[in-house]
């Protein structure tokens, strides 16, 4: 049995007849943060969707906690402790904040779920009776992330959770991600803010045109080379912490 929280082995996947991922090997140890970086269109979101069961690979295996879940549905994977926070907030806009928290938390623990969510995201405390769709973008992202604290997942997949947010809100979101990492959950992070992702990560993978081109610690990564080669821009004097990767649809 594997000692890994999440493992992709030889995964090839795509959309219809279009292959996006090619023989991807990726591992997330328990309690660790792994960043998946790459240029727009490299296939980062496809990795997360495949890991979550939204895309069925044409080759390769996916394991959660050592168990083969390649043929399992997203619902079955969520019951095995996997949580996907997708790009684009991922809340039910016509439900209230309270209803979103209760719906996405464990059954029979409404009061506890609400308190946990408000402890991590106090900005939601005065918004419990409001429709989620009426919240600001930052508050919606906080609400989407609250399920990671109420449901106590073993593996969390995070897709561009800072997308479209003001810098001060981005800082708040990353404070929450640091807190989430301290809970012992294993995180696989696709993130546009390179410097923040590398600061949080224990391990980094670079994805280049659907294939893994680098695997190692953040200290082993040449950040300037990352910016030049994979983002196709020149790093400024402040370094890549100020560089963001534009979002991708796949």
pLDDT at 181 over 90: yes
Are the CB atoms for 98 and 124 separated by under 8 Å? no
Q: For position 106, what pLDDT does the model report?
A: 85
pLDDT at 246 over 90: no
User: When comparing pLDDT for 119 and 88, which is higher?
Assistant: 119
Q: For position 237, what pLDDT does the model report?
A: 52
- Share of residues in the chain with pLDDT > 90 (%): 80
Q: For position 57, what pLDDT does the model report?
A: 98
Q: Cα angle vertex 199, ends 193, 204, to 5°?
A: 80
Note the pTM of the prediction, 2 decimals. 0.90
Q: Give pLDDT tens digits for 55-100.
A: 999 999 999 999 999 999 999 999 999 999 999 878 999 999 999 9
Mean pLDDT over each residue of the chain, to the nearest integer: 90
- Mean pLDDT on 109-115: 94
With bands split at pLDDT 50, 70 and 90, how would you rate the model's confidence at 6?
very high
Q: What is d(CA 113, CA 102) in angstroms, rounded to the nearest whole number?
A: 6
Q: For position 236, what pLDDT does the model report?
A: 59
Are the CB atoms for 164 and 145 separated by under 8 Å? no
Domains identified in the chain and CATH numbers: 1-81+154-250 (3.40.50.300), 91-152 (no CATH)
With bands split at pLDDT 50, 70 and 90, how would you rate the model's confidence at 107?
confident
| Separation of CA 184 from chain center | 15
Closest CA relative to residue 123, chosen from 81, 173, 89: 173
Backbone angles phi, psi at 245, to 5 degrees: -95, 130
- Which pair of structure tokens corresponds to residue 93? 């806009």
Q: What is d(CA 238, CA 250) in angstroms, rounded to the nearest whole number?
A: 30
CB-count exposure of residue 135 (10 Å: 0-12, 13-18, 19+)? buried
Q: For position 108, what pLDDT does the model report?
A: 82
Q: For position 34, what pLDDT does the model report?
A: 98
Q: What is d(CA 216, CA 221) in angstroms, rounded to the nearest whole number?
A: 7
Q: Lowest-pLDDT range, 48-57, 133-142, 231-240?
A: 231-240
- Mean pLDDT on 114-136: 96
């Amino acid at each position: 049995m594997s000692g890994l929280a999440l493992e992709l082995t030889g995964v090839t996947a795509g959309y219809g007849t279009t292959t996006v991922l090619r023989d991807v090997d990726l591992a997330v140890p328990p309690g660790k943060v792994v960043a998946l970086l790459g240029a727009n269109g490299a296939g980062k979101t496809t990795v997360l969707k495949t890991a979550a069961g939204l895309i069925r690979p044409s080759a390769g295996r996916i394991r959660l906690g050592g168990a083969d879940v390649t043929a399992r549905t997203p619902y079955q994977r969520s019951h095995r402790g996997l949580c996907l926070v997708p790009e684009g907030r991922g809340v039910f806009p016509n439900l209230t904040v309270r209803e979103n928290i209760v719906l996405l938390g464990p059954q029979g623990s409404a009061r506890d779920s609400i308190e946990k969510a408000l402890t991590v995201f106090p900005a939601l405390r005065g918004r419990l009776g409001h429709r989620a769709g009426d919240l600001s973008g930052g508050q919606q992202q906080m609400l989407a992330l609250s399920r990671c604290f109420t449901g106590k997942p073993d593996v969390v997949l995070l897709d561009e959770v800072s997308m479209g947010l003001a810098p001060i809100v981005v800082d708040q979101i990353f404070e929450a991600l640091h807190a989430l990492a301290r809970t012992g959950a294993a995180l696989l992070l696709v993130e546009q803010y390179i410097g923040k992702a590398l600061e949080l990560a224990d391990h980094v993978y670079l994805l280049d045109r659907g294939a893994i081109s680098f695997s190692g610690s953040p200290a082993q990564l040449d950040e300037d080379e990352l910016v030049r080669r994979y983002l196709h821009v020149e790093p400024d004097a402040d370094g890549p912490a100020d560089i963001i990767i534009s979002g991708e649809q796949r």
